[in-house]
Amino acid sequence: MKLRPRTTTIDAEVCADLARGLAAAPSGVGFVYDALDRIVDESGGDVVLVLHDALVGRQVFRARRRPLDGTWADKVAAEAAPGLYYENGTLDRDAVNGIIGLCTVAVRLDVVGHDASHDSLTGLLNRRSFDDALEAAVAQSRRYGWPFTLALLDVQGFKAVNDSLGHTAGDDVLRALGAALRAGMRAGDVVARVGGDEFGLILPNSAPELLPRLVERLADAIHGAVPGATARLSTGVARSPADATDPVELYKLADARLYESRVTR
């Protein structure tokens, strides 16, 4: 049987209410699920939304955040054209198009927001986002006494990798470091690419003694991605509140210790 978008009793008033909510939604994906749940609340049944957009690609959502299993949802997810799919009910076309349009905008906003705060090569936070996170961590440390470690890492010999093996190899090194850092971080840790070959970490309740093991894993990631690379990692560490309670001073201290690590190796 050919799949076709079905309709519900949702009307233009509900669409207008959803449109007002989009402006205040903290998450685009969250808005999509709220919209689908609203349809279910108003009409019952089950709803699957299929979006396809040049910016976000193909995205499939099911009301109540249900998994896309079961014959009906599986078939829609695998085969259906973009549209709003419902088990029963009636709906005018304008309402369907309105909901699809709002959900598309919501998901696009998530993508744009992610791109604005993340480094495109490594997928880590960018410098601006890291600076915001550092200010927040210092503020919490001052207010509640919560300690954290600020660690700066850079890749010694990175220019030599680019010069001898090519910029593609250099990019591979950075991507490998980004993947290894994401895999090695705990919930609550913050990691970012803060410069060309420099990375920043905010590690709540972490002692600097834990860093050597992380550095070893990162070195393995470099050599696994680019076997001919002779690059190695240097680190600079500062603690809050023990070393400083100002984000600028804390960063300067970690950066100075990073420089010392470079020149003594």
Cβ neighbour number for residue 169 with a 10 Å cutoff: 17
C-alpha–C-alpha distance, residues 150 and 199, integer Å: 11
- Alpha carbon distance 252, 125 (integer Å): 20
8 Å CB contact between 129 and 118: yes
- State how far the Cα of 20 lies from the Cα of 202, in Å rounded to an integer: 37
Q: Residue-wise over 53-87: b if at least 16 C-beta within 10 A, else e?
A: eeebeebbbbbeeeeeeeeebeebbeebeebbbbe
Check if the beta carbon of residue 156 is closer than 8 Å to that of residue 96.
Answer: no
DSSP-derived letter for residue 149 is E
Identify whether the C-beta of residue 19 lies closer than 8 Å to the C-beta of residue 102.
yes
Active-site choice (154, 172, 197, 255)? 197
d(CA 119, CA 123): 5
| Cβ proximity of 57 and 80 under 8 Å | no
37 included as an active-site residue:
no
Catalytic residue set: 197
